[in-house]
Amino acid sequence: MTAQELPNGFTGFANRKPGFEPASASVGHTPVGGYTTGGGAALAGVPAGYERGAQGAFQYARDHARPDAGAASFDPDKLRLIPDTDRRWAWTEVDLNALRHNVASLKRHVGPGVRVMAVVKADGYGHGAVRCAKTALNSGAEYLGVATVNEAIELREALVNAPILVLSQPPDEAIPLLLAYKVMPSVYTPDFAIRYAEAADAFGIRAPYHLAVNTGMNRIGVRHDQVVEFLSQVSFHRALDLVGTFTHFATADAPETLDFHIQTKRFLEAIQGMRVAGVDPGIIHAANSAAAIRYPDVHFDMVRPGIALYGLHPCPETRTMIELKPVMSVLARVTDSRLVPMSEGVSYGMNYRSPGSVKICTIPVGYADGLRRGLSGRTDFIVSGQRFRQVGNICMDQCMFEVDMRIYGTRRRVDPQIGDEVVLVGRQGDSVVTLDDMANTLGTIHYELSIGFAQRMPRVYV
């Protein structure tokens, strides 16, 4: 039986068009341990009709076949070498060169003498905290900001040695972890400050912290007009070490600036009060991405960019002020491709019906992967440089898109096959789909979407 005669249910390879390469080949994987992961030459003894993805499977079977021609054994070590992108045809790509560009742009924008704290909380906004932290530090950032103690520990265990600030006050029970991993907390209650200092003193070490000041966002922090009083309650302890003082702006990304200026005034008054009381505020920082780009007066000693590091603008006003490059792309490969007769439905609810002369293609990405169900029928995907409409309700693990097979004048006809690459977020040729596009459609912010796409798809750094 030839490869083309094999039933499609066997592996699906028979229906792939010539030249197909697995995802591993497109992202630069090379053969390892005698097992071809894609992109290599044809393997001896493999039927000529099989493409490279199938060759790897045949090679694996031959490598582990028993001498008596009995059942093959499976080597767990070799199984682990099969890339994630060949286990499921959906992945995110993180462009570390784009991240380097964004850090450099921000450094130039804030100018010399201003430090950069790279905020890598929420797994680097979905981009991978460890790799993004190391890249940011190598590109000029000097501090790292996280949201939780565990996020800080992940960085330390990955041998990241830069100063790390937890941007909130952890539970008292986490104090030993802060001290053991040399992680600084934000502090804003006297009880935590004293317990933290006592624990440090018992080990004969210092208890460094940053003081969080509430200037109007009313989320965390010592109230701006009570800062000196707070310090009088805790500063007697010999182990406490005030390394920095900060606040957070609630409206730096808003067109209206009144509340921003009120917060700025309150913060400056709090800093001045500390100095009058003889307290050194340490490293003064307040500017998130929007404030760092829009308002030079609040750069102080350090800025704290988050979303801008990843090439996403915090607000429309920043687009003309700084050049940022998107770091994340979301890609998949077609897992099914079929002509659907006129009036037949697609997906749950069948709220989409085929108009005829269309091909419906399936990709293995759904709302469990961050492709929000609210985007059903409201977003485009890109294949071969052309945009195609997503159709039918987005499922938990899969979704479909429509390709018009009719020919209109000079319109180039695209005929997707199983294994063809699909861009959900990113650029291909002159076509682009952005997280901003999706966020505007959903009435949300791109932060939420970038984090969502990191839920379970493998991540590839390029």
Positions marked active-site: 121, 348
DSSP 8-state class, residue 329: E
For residue 317 the two structure tokens come to 């006003």
Residue with tokens 């624990």: 199
Contact assessment for residue 416 and residue 337, using Cβ atoms and an 8 Å cutoff = yes
What's the token pair of residue 146? 């996280």
Distance from C-alpha of 95 to C-alpha of 462, rounded to nearest angstrom: 5
Look at residue 64 and give its three-state secondary structure: coil
Distance CA 344, CA 341 (A): 6
Query: Partners of 362 in the beta sheet?
Result: 336, 400
Q: How many CB atoms lie within 10 A of CB 191?
A: 10
Q: In terms of DSSP H, where are the helices of 66-208?
A: 76-80, 96-110, 121-125, 129-138, 149-157, 175-180, 190-202
Could you give the CA distance from residue 220 to residue 212 in angstroms, rounded to a whole number? 7
Q: How many CA atoms lie less than 13 Å away from 25 in the CB half-sphere?
A: 18
**Which tokens go with 165?**
């600030």
Strand partners, 210: 186, 244
**Number of Cα atoms under 13 Å in the Cβ half of residue 308:** 32
Report residue 322 as tokens.
């700084």
Q: Which residue has the tokens 């709090």?
A: 270
Distance CA 24, CA 185 (A): 41
Signed CA dihedral, 353, 357, 362, 363: sign only: negative
The Cα 246–Cα 251 span in angstroms is: 16
Q: How far apart are CA 245 and CA 217, in angstroms?
A: 16
The answer to whether 345 touches 352, Cβ cutoff 8 Å, is yes
